[in-house]
Structure 1
Amino acid sequence: MATYHVIGIMSGTSLDGVDLAYCRFTYNEKNWIYKILNTETLPYTDVWLKLLSTLTEASAAEIIATDRAYGRYLGELVKNFVEANKLSVDFVSSHGHTIFHQPQLDITFQVGSGAYLAAAAGLPVVCDFRTLDIALGGQGAPLVPIGDKLLFSGYDFCLNLGGISNISQEGSDRRVAFDISCCNMLLNHLAEELGFAYDRNGELARQGQLQQDLFEKLNEAAYFSAAYPKSIGKEWADENSLKVLSHSKASTQDKLHTACHHIGYQIAQSVKQHASQAHGKLLLTGGGAFNSFLVEQIQHYLGPTFEVVVPEPELVNFKEALIFAFLGVLRWRQENNCLQSVTGASQDNCGGAIYWM
């Protein structure tokens, strides 16, 4: 039996803050058991929000400087988190914040220098989980499925509703997973037009009306009918879903309402296409799981034979941070933490750089 105490760090494309999850993992009789012990979400300041959201247009020097400053910032957050909760930590496992993701061009980049994080936190750090997979011909995404496989095997499907919606399931002979569509990247963008950071409980979307022409236009992108492995980055969102919404003359409430239908429809299409039977149990996590109107649309398009489960809020909020902590454990043990069946790489691989302290 082996036990690890790890802090997982996650910052998603929706920029709602830095998630810290202090987790315990125990490997016993070929099974992994996890426990989330302490959590905290630290919202970004206006300065960090502006910097991270505009970094794609920055110079190379500005990007390098931000990478290191952000790594130091994450390390300081970790140090404060450890001291405030008197934690005993083996190491930190950080996803960083994605700025570029174009695997077809061999590009993926997450700011948050592991070296600067380790120096500021005073702890070993595992980071840079995507690069090796892309070097092996993969998408570098999704990374969460091996955690779904080993930690959440009681569900037929694991669905995450973050900035991007993605799904993971066990196929007949391998794990199947891919990004489905933009999610909170669309909904938060539209909510901001109305003066809100996000659409609480989907109340704004519920006030709108379905715009059939917009719904059909959102569903037209070739990505949705493409075979996996496939993944979505901010660049794709800007050129597809967000552009379609910006060109629509519908009211913002109607756009929100229609976007929820679009997301629910694409999720249902993906589930039904890859389901081995006409029923199943879905675990729903990520910020979108708190959007009751969106959850209703997912259930509506799936139909009554599929059970949609929204777990306790802590798991909804911190599942990705939990799983990145777990990916760090697998890297620490020199075991595969990335599956070729979901990324399209030439082989399963053990990704991640380690900075020792």
Structure 2
Amino acid sequence: MKALAIGLMSGTSLDGLDICLAAFEKQDKWNFTILKAETLPYSEDWENRLRNSIHLSAEDLLALHSDYGFYLGQQVKEFINQHQLENISLIASHGHTVFHQPKKKFTLQIGDGRAIKLKTGLPVIYDFRSQDVLMNGNGAPLVPIGDELLFSQYSACLNLGGFSNISLQSGGKRIAFDIAPVNIVLNYLAQKLHKTFDENGELAEKGKINGTLLNQLNALDFYQYAHPKSLGIEWCNEHIFPALENSDPLDALATFTEHTAQQIANVINQYTIKDILVTGGGAYNTFLIEKIRAKTVSEVIIPEKEIINYKEALIFAFMGVLRMNNEINVLASATGSTHNHCSGVIA
């Protein structure tokens, strides 16, 4: 079985749209090759529209859902034309998360897949999370199916994006869960210092750790919960940003980087993980990575840039391939839903 698929990913840190074209082939097991991949930075207008989407009226949010779908379709169309791509089986789009409240049985990723199809003429799979939430799952993390079938040579996979999440084999099954916020908070603090992000963790390295604030962050209930569990912007708005409000941004960066490293290390040590593959934008934060290494005995592996940058988009493309084949693409052991299932709406 062979397939050429395009995966689209827009993360909570709003650093741009990831587009990844990959070839998938199944013999004894699944193999993949990333053929073309790039990140298209958002214009200031699009970044603001997506960032403020959580505050829109229902009417304006529905309009944005359509607009963003056509925007995604146009970006893919230009990507296909630019690279003169042919024989593409499908497009799989994660969309952009606005709301994520699984306890209330809803999650919303905007970017209407039907609009993408109208622009490109290709089959589109979208809305991968809602079905899982309706099945009592967290709707996240979804990437573990790819970790299981494409990256099984590693004991665990850690993604450092807007939030950190981990996936590993435990008790004969693949478990996964969110650990702590990362770039969604670090970028917010860096922006207070007129930087878009904290490059290599250099700002955090200059700050002083505030022990009281660190203890306050580490004491948050979420960290005591058993998996499966997931985080959203709403949780940060309630618990994290108010706690950081009156701190010096440099010291807050130092403190939050330490907090994130501690929480990640706690999980790695709890499961006695031998080696761990680290991807996502946070893999470039050398200060954070050094802190994680110092707090664990695990081998922390930073792969080539293509995997760091595009692993999530790659796995959504793969989830699209599985969906088209009616194969399981969501693991209940990772999300907490009632059973494994095949998710995604086909346009």
CA distance in 1, matches of 2:295, 2:167: 18
Is residue 2:326 matched to residue 1:352? no
Structure 1 counterpart of 2:290, which letter?
Answer: E
The residue that corresponds to 2:58 in the other structure is 60
Q: What is the CA-CA distance between 1:117 and the residue it aligns to?
A: 0.9
CA distance in 1, matches of 2:52, 2:263: 29
The residue that corresponds to 2:176 in the other structure is 177
For the Cα contact (< 8 Å) 1:79–1:122, is it kept in 2?
no
- 1:276-308 CA-to-partner distances (Å, cap 9, x unmatched) read xx4510100000000100111111222xx2100
Structure 1 counterpart of 2:256, which letter?
Answer: A
For the Cα contact (< 8 Å) 2:268–2:298, is it kept in 1?
no
For the Cα contact (< 8 Å) 2:244–2:252, is it kept in 1?
yes
Q: What is the CA-CA distance between 1:40 and the residue it aligns to?
A: 1.0
The residue that corresponds to 1:301 in the other structure is 295
The residue that corresponds to 1:42 in the other structure is 40
CA distance in 2, matches of 1:115, 1:269: 43
Which one of the candidate residues 68, 71, 82 is aligned to 1:70?
Answer: 68
- 1:9-54 CA-to-partner distances (Å, cap 9, x unmatched) read 000000000000000000012x000110101101111111111111
2:177 is paired with a residue of what secondary structure?
strand
1:195 is paired with a residue of what secondary structure?
coil
Q: Which runs of 4+ in 1 moved over 3 A?
A: none
Which one of the candidate residues 263, 268, 272 is aligned to 2:269?
Answer: 272
**Identical amino acids, percent of aligned pairs:** 45
For the Cα contact (< 8 Å) 1:161–1:288, is it kept in 2?
yes
CA distance in 2, matches of 1:175, 1:135: 21
For the Cα contact (< 8 Å) 2:125–2:345, is it kept in 1?
yes
1:4 is paired with a residue of what secondary structure?
strand
- 1:224-250 CA-to-partner distances (Å, cap 9, x unmatched) read 00011110011001111222111x43x
2:66 is paired with a residue of what secondary structure?
helix
The residue that corresponds to 1:132 in the other structure is 131
Structure 2 counterpart of 1:321, which letter?
Answer: A
CA distance in 2, matches of 1:311, 1:32: 19
- 1:104-157 CA-to-partner distances (Å, cap 9, x unmatched) read 001100000000111112211011101111111111111000100111111111
Is residue 2:108 matched to residue 1:116? no
Q: What is the CA-CA distance between 1:77 and the residue it aligns to?
A: 0.2
Which segments of 5 or more consecutive residues in structure 2 lack a partner in the other structure? none
- 1:61-96 CA-to-partner distances (Å, cap 9, x unmatched) read 100000000000000000000000011211100000
For the Cα contact (< 8 Å) 2:156–2:273, is it kept in 1?
no
TM-score using structure 2 length: 0.98
The residue that corresponds to 2:285 in the other structure is 291
For the Cα contact (< 8 Å) 1:204–1:256, is it kept in 2?
yes
1:240 is paired with a residue of what secondary structure?
helix
Which segments of 5 or more consecutive residues in structure 1 lack a partner in the other structure? none
CA distance in 2, matches of 1:258, 1:138: 32
CA distance in 1, matches of 2:315, 2:107: 20
For the Cα contact (< 8 Å) 1:190–1:252, is it kept in 2?
yes
TM-score using structure 1 length: 0.95
Structure 1 counterpart of 2:214, which letter?
Answer: F
1:141 is paired with a residue of what secondary structure?
coil
- 1:197-237 CA-to-partner distances (Å, cap 9, x unmatched) read 11111111111121111111111110000011110011001
Query: What are the residue-to-residue correspondences of 1:1-357 with 2, within 5 Å?
Result: 2-29=1-28, 31-88=29-86, 89-246=88-245, 248-249=246-247, 251-273=248-270, 275=271, 278-302=272-296, 305-355=297-347
- Aligned residue pairs total 346
For the Cα contact (< 8 Å) 2:106–2:134, is it kept in 1?
no
For the Cα contact (< 8 Å) 1:8–1:94, is it kept in 2?
yes
2:2 is paired with a residue of what secondary structure?
strand
Structure 2 counterpart of 1:32, which letter?
Answer: W
CA distance in 2, matches of 1:79, 1:210: 47
CA distance in 2, matches of 1:171, 1:330: 24
CA distance in 2, matches of 1:107, 1:243: 25
CA distance in 1, matches of 2:241, 2:287: 20
